Structure 1
Amino acid sequence: MNQMRIDGFTQATATEGTGAPDGRAGTSENGQAPIGIVIEVGGAGSRIALDTERLAEVAMDGDATVALSGQVGSQVKLRVGTGWLLASIRSQKQDHSIPGGIVADADFLGEGEEERLTKRIHSFRRGVTFYPVPGAPVYPATSEDLRQIYASDGRSAIQIGNVYPTRNIRAGLFVDALLSKHFALLGSTGTGKSTSAALILHRICEHAPEGHIIMIDPHGEYSAAFRETGVILDVSNLQMPYWLMNFEEHCEILLTSRGDDRQLDAEILAKCLLEARMKNRLAETVGKITVDSPIPYLLSDLGSSINNAMGKLDKGHSSASYMRIRNRLDELKGDPRYHFMFSGMLVGDTMADFISRLFRLPSRGKPISIIDVSGVPSDITSTVVAVLSRLVFDFAVWSREEKTRPILIVCEEAHRYVPNEKNADGSSVGRVLSRIAKEGRKYGISLGLITQRPSDLAEGVLSQCGTIIAMRLNNDRDQAFVRGAMPEGARGFLDSIPALRNRECIICGEGVTIPTRVSFDDLEEFRRPASDDPSFTQLWNSTGGEEEMVQRTVRRWRAQGR
């Protein structure tokens, strides 16, 4: 018999069995005895009085889950009638006025029924139907409880690691819930964020080998990870036709002026661009077209329209605007860095082929396209990402009458492309991705945002993500931003974010049963992104071949190759 000392009374509790690490065998004796009682109940949580002597006893338990009971971020179960209510400890403080010595605040996570023989939780579900009453006993959650809670409920899921602090309770993500309501992966540099992103995408590809995934890779990290299971597109083979751009994207690339001059330049470009598009025979078959219509046109036709308009005597203004646009057009045509997009070979109507290759339609067992934009000139990178993202959205809108083909677009360094108001530069990519975040689910588009600076994301975008995967965040502003986006039940887990180890995370939202701390699986070397930090000690103690390396680098540099 164990004696429970709370609130001036002694409660005898029968116990049986012996403890076992991770709940792999037997029943934890300490898991069968209460560690406190409820002293106050609210709508989303309760206040608990914990017995310091009992906490010292459970800390020695062989079940790692029981041993952590009462600590911030741990789970406890509250007796409610004949069932259990699961709660997460959010905070605790010492209070000598309370028998037991410790007062803790706990957030409700969900409820389940009780197995008669083992007293464990089963048939767990999120939400609260029945609340505890003050005086209700509080018990440690055991590893076997967690095993039941995290067990798949029949929904398609991918396994990505182990539930902390256990070694053999698998942590999963419900694929449909994860993708249908967007997700965000957040973590400071050096926490294993890129490798964890690759792990999740590999698991999704294995689960759905005929899927359709596009990843925007700004640093060229992920090519190494998906060379065997995906298609790698970069400046050497992307071949993105310039005429796929809409008018706004044309303005971003072709107009260099500001203020009133830019408005005038835009009016000239709109007229000349429409004329160039209308010269294509395809325009005759389509009917009435607009300046945004993805109709192929010749760059020489656009240049001729600009020259003709500039030569008119009744144009009403100086030739400066025409000269600015024409000079920029000539620059793009002549600079080899832009040939992946502004090449004379890209004038053919390859729209269907380009979309099929980009969206993996069909996938043929390689469901992911890695779009390596590290070689794209920096002045047009945002526009290229905008075009690719808008194509996803427009394709989804215009294919509504067809059999739905959901598409996942994953954006690494998302704060670059969807910046907050303070850092916004007015580029179209932010508007496109924000629209996908708000409306994409209606059309079968899923958005995955990966960033090390969540506080620099546009306001409201993170709140559109139904699942948040938070790794260690060192910056106070980032922590506060994530805390505001997390549901109430995850607040206790948030306190542990600054103390997470590398390749550990807190997951909350639609993709998991309850907020969970997870240790990610190890990923094979050949499936990892090329993002490891260099070993200064090792590299600075090796020598040989430096001259040849410099020569090779200079040749690639001059050729703008990689």
Structure 2
Amino acid sequence: MSIETVDSIGYVVALEGTKIRVNLLEGHKGQLASHRRGVSSVSQPGDLIGLDAGTNLVIARVTDMAFVDPDKAHSSNVGTMNVTDTPLRQLIAYSVGYVFQEGDTRKFISENWKLPTLGAKAIPLSSDYLETIYGVNEDEKGSTIELGRDSRTKTTSINAGLNSLLSRHLAVLGSTGYGKSNFNALLSQRIREKFTKSRIVIFDINGEYTDAFIGQKRVKETILGSISPPSTNSAGFAPVAPPPIFDGKYPVYHQIPYQAFGYAGLIKLLRPSDKTQLPALRNALKSLHMVCTCQNGLIWTAETIPPSTTANWFELVDDCRQDGQDHLSQWLKKLRSNALGHFPTWPPFKALANLVAEFGCQAFTPQGASKRDAFSYGNVLPLVKIIQQLVDDPRFNNVVNLSGGQAITNPATMWNKEVENEVDYIFGKKSGEPQDWDVHIINLKNIADDHAPMILGSLLEMYSDVLFKRGQDQNYPTMLLLEEAHHYLRDPFAEEGTQLKAYERLAKEGRKFNCSLLVSTQRPSELSSTVLAMCSNWISLRLTNERDINALRHAIENGNEYTLSEISGLPRGDAIGFGSTFNIPVRFTIDKAEPSPKSSDAAFASIWST
């Protein structure tokens, strides 16, 4: 469509910086402007309008509309019958960019410095111009994902280039019930349809994404927890392979081995104090492979396996009793110097409490003999209690395997091996290794809210540790969909205690290592501000809380107050997209995911009236 062939609907009467005033002609009352290439709305704030600028078409966004008295406005009779007594309709718009012709194609540049001349005609935008404005870069034309249609006219599809959408992380925000899960499922489905070798890991807090992938191939669901059907083996894996077409009926029940948290991960999980508890915990972790448990649950360490005499064994306790402390110093010295042989299997998690107690309570008499000192024991007692509470908490030991028993083949690599095995299972193997799934749904319904920051933060800690060790070339491109992220990506300044902050490193550097985060939350104000700031693309559904909108205001780069003011009034299913993948902030209606996730509202009226 040529600009010359389109009838004018108004003309520019004033330029005030990037602020443009347009008088509408008498034949166009500012409702709908129609032409042979479509119908464009110019009746409401937020609509786009084109302004002739010679070889370019300036694109402006309408922000205000008003009647203006004819004696105070440009009242030329051009295009009108008589304006001496009739108030003029006037638009106020701001330049958001311009369209120019390059060969046979049009291009849109999102820069607001180019302005029309006084008297330049205003024209409605056809669907092909809107596609240019809302479109993607030329180099991404073959890798676009359709997200929906523009909310105003419903004539233009809104697409996003996959590389620009995922390479620098994506935040999906919105109050509950306004369509976040539908958008996340839709995006995942369309990525799967177009890119057959994609890899997506979904942290499914409420167990709602299973339905969205029924009927697809290479989809796997894992439920974290030990409540498994009788058909599973001791490792928690189903012995019978699920059918090749995913039907949601054969989930794998899986417990995280406590040692898979890793050396550093367990330190962050248990949150020891720096001066007294941390040294004792470090010694305990280094010595863990040299202790075992006997049938009555006692924790022992030994010089020979099996022991030939009683003297070769020493019992470790988690209290401050005086028994056996004549030999305490020599046994702790052997443990600390790694002078004892390792046992073939991992001890139970409760062994950490015994080791922390023994390393933390040791003191010496004036004669140089060792003893268990009550004052020193009091310093590590809170840490001992934390370990004991986790062991006794059924909500924790349902998700985390605290019993031990897994094989130890090499003490030098035992921590790294356990972490890598868990990362391979949950997040996928490195490039070049066979993988039996493309979408892995991690069902987290068994994790208690107060344990979510610990457990899920530790999972991300494992992943970041392995991700950065593997290097850029060995990591397969993976998208992590972090649903309800405010439960576990919490702002470290909003709570007491040391937080697990591996997710912040993933947000800062993960893109260099082929990791993309899709952070979905209904409370961005409770999310880590670092994670929000690292997201370069935003899909915001309705948000009404002022704190949440302020969190968005401080994090976005190219949003403006008008865009933010729209967010609180969005209807269900509408969203505003902005960021590096969008030329300008765009409001669009999200397509319906088919099949949809299990996130619909409860039918109170129909159920209660039956």
Shorter-chain TM-score: which interval?
0.7 to 0.9
* Alignment partners' CA distance in 2, 1:228 and 1:383: 34
Amino acid at match of 2:152: P
User: What secondary structure, in the 3-state scheme, does the structure 2 residue paired with 1:500 have?
Assistant: coil
Give, in angstroms, the shift of residue 180 of structure 1: 0.7
- Residue 371 of structure 1: CA displacement? 2.2
Q: Match of 1:557? A: none
Q: Equivalent residue for 2:322?
A: none
- Looking at structure 1, the residues matched to 274 and 41 of structure 2 have their Cα atoms a distance apart, in angstroms, of 63
SS of 1:499's equivalent in the other structure is coil
Residue number in structure 2 paired with 1:272:
284
2:130 is equivalent to residue 146 of structure 1? yes
Task: Give deviations 1:5-41, integer Å, cap 9, x for gaps.
Answer: xxxxxxxx9986xxxxxxxxxxxxxx53142316225
> Within 2, Cα distance between the matches of 1:115 and 1:311?
80
Cα distance, 1:232 vs structure 2: 1.9
Is residue 192 from structure 1 mapped to residue 262 from structure 2 by the alignment?
no
Match of 1:235 in 2: 224
| Aligned residue runs from structure 1 range 388-467, under 5 A | 388-400=459-471, 402-420=473-491, 423-429=494-500, 431-467=501-537
Change (3 A) 1:342 1:253: farther
Within 1, Cα distance between the matches of 2:159 and 2:434?
25
Cα offset, 1:80, TM superposition: 2.2
1:520 alignment counterpart: 590
Please say if residues 505 and 517 of structure 1, whose CA atoms lie closer than 8 Å, have aligned partners that are also in contact: yes
Q: Equivalent residue for 1:137? A: 121
Q: Answer yes or no: is the 8 Å Cα contact 1:244–1:387 preserved in 2.
A: no
Q: Which residue of 1 aligns with 2:261?
A: 245
Query: Is contact 1:307-1:322 (8 Å) kept?
Result: yes
* Cα distance in 2 between the residues matched to 1:77 and 1:324: 68
Counterpart of 2:606 (choices 514, 538, 551) is: 538
- Selected match of 1:98 from 67, 73, 85: 73
Shift of 1:310: 6.0
Specify the alignment match of 1:113 in structure 2.
101
Q: Secondary structure at the match of 1:216?
A: strand
Matches within 5 A, 1:171-210: 171-210=158-197
Q: Where does 1:374-385 land on structure 2 (aligned, <5 Å)?
A: 374-385=445-456
Amino acid of the residue matched to residue 211 of structure 2? Answer: A
Deviation at 1:196, TM superposition (A): 1.4
Aligned-residue CA RMSD in angstroms? Answer: 3.6
How far residue 92 of structure 1 moved from its aligned partner, in angstroms, is 4.3
Q: Would you say the 8 A contact 1:333–1:339 is kept in 2?
A: no
Amino acid at match of 2:14: I
- Between the two proteins, what is the percent identity of the paired residues? 24
Distance in 2 separating the partners of 1:179 and 1:334: 41
Checking the alignment, whether the CA contact within 8 Å between 1:38 and 1:138 is kept in structure 2 is no
Distance 1:197 1:426, change over 3 A: farther
Change beyond 3 A, Cα 1:101–1:162: closer
Question: Who is 1:285 aligned against?
Answer: none
Shift of 1:533: 1.4
SS in 1 for 2:185: helix
Partner-residue secondary structure (3-state), 1:370: strand
What SS does structure 2 have at the residue aligned with 1:72?
Answer: coil
Q: Which amino acid aligns with 1:234?
A: I
**Matched AA of 1:104:** I
Deviates more, 1:166-175 or 1:487-496: 487-496
Deviations 1:150-185 (A, max 9, x none): 455341111121123334432112110011111111
Deviations 1:303-351 (A, max 9, x none): 5534543674536634335554445434444554314323335634554
For residue 384 of structure 1, give the secondary structure of its aligned residue in structure 2: helix
- Paired with 2:522 and 2:66, the residues of 1 have a C-alpha distance of 32
Alpha-carbon distance in structure 1 between the residues aligned to 2:184 and 2:13: 40
Gaps of 5+ in 1: 1-12, 17-30, 281-287, 290-294, 543-562
Q: Using the alignment, how far apart are the partners of 1:366 and 1:514 within structure 2?
A: 36
What letter is aligned with 2:187?
I
One-letter code aligned to 1:81: G
CA distance in 1, matches of 2:61, 2:268: 49
Shift of 1:468: 0.8
Counterpart pick for 2:399 among 328, 340, 351: 340
Aligned residue for 1:302? Answer: 352
SS in 1 for 2:106: strand
Q: Give CA deviations for 1:419-443 in whole Å, capped at 9, x if unaligned.
A: 34663344533x2222222222232
Query: How big is the shift at 1:102?
Result: 2.4
In structure 1, how many angstroms separate the alpha carbons of the residues matched to 2:4 and 2:398?
A: 75
Alpha-carbon distance in structure 1 between the residues aligned to 2:405 and 2:11: 71
What is the rounded CA distance, in whole Å, between the counterparts of 1:133 and 1:279 in structure 2? 83
Q: Indicate the structure with greater helix content.
A: 1
Structure 2 contact 41–153 (Cα < 8 Å) conserved: no
Equivalent residue, structure 2, for 1:33: 8
Mark the CA change 1:102 to 1:353 in structure 2 (over 3 Å): closer, same or farther.
Answer: same
State the partner residue of 2:41. Answer: 68
Is 1:169 matched with 2:181?
A: no
Q: Corresponding residue for 2:26?
A: 53
Post-superposition shift, 1:147?
A: 2.9
Task: Give the aligned partner of residue 50 of structure 2.
Answer: 77
Residue in 2 that maps onto 1:218: 205
Instruction: Check whether the contact 2:9–2:123 (CA below 8 A) recurs between aligned residues.
Output: yes
CA distance in 2, matches of 1:436, 1:70: 44
Q: Judging changes above 3 Å, is the alpha-carbon distance between structure 1 residues 136 and 397 closer, same or farther for their aligned structure 2 residues?
A: same
Where 1:433 maps in the other structure, the secondary structure is: helix
Q: Deviation at 1:72? A: 1.1
C-alpha deviations, 1:107-144, integer Å up to 9, x for none? 4134322899xxxx823343367443444333222223
Q: Contact between 1:183 and 1:467, CA under 8 Å: does it hold in 2? A: yes
Structure 2 contact 204–483 (Cα < 8 Å) conserved = yes
What is the CA distance between 1:379 and its match in structure 2? 3.5
Amino acid at match of 2:153: T
Gaps of 5+ in 2: 75-87, 226-252, 293-336, 339-343, 365-371, 408-416
SS in 2 for 1:410: strand
Structure 2 CA distance for aligned equivalents of residues 187 and 424 of structure 1: 23
Give distance in 1, aligned partners of 2:457 and 2:346.
20
1:367–1:421 CA distance, 2 compared to 1 (3 A):
same
The equivalent of 2:250 in structure 1 is: none
- Does structure 2 retain, via aligned residues, the 8 Å contact 1:181–1:446? yes
**Alignment partner for residue 377 of structure 2, among 312, 319, 339?**
319
Q: Which residue of 1 aligns with 2:59?
A: 86
CA displacement at 1:395 relative to structure 2: 2.2
Q: Is the 8 A contact 2:58 2:95 kept in 1?
A: no
User: What's the CA shift for 1:277?
Assistant: 5.1
Paired amino acid for 2:190: R
Matching residue's letter, 1:329: I
State whether residues 108 and 489 of structure 1, in contact with CA within 8 Å, keep that contact through their aligned partners in structure 2: no
Is contact 1:122-1:149 (8 Å) kept? no
Q: How many residue pairs get matched?
A: 491
Describe the SS at the equivalent of 2:447: coil
Measured at CA, do residues 50 and 183 of structure 1 come closer, stay the same or move farther in structure 2, by a change above 3 Å?
farther
Residue 535 of structure 1: CA displacement? Answer: 0.9
- Given that residues 47 and 152 in structure 2 are in contact (C-alpha distance below 8 angstroms), is that contact kept between their aligned partners in structure 1? no
Matching residue of 1:25: none
Distance in 2, Cα, partners of 1:63 & 1:497: 33
Q: If you compute each CA radius of gyration, which structure gives the higher value, 1 or 2?
A: 2
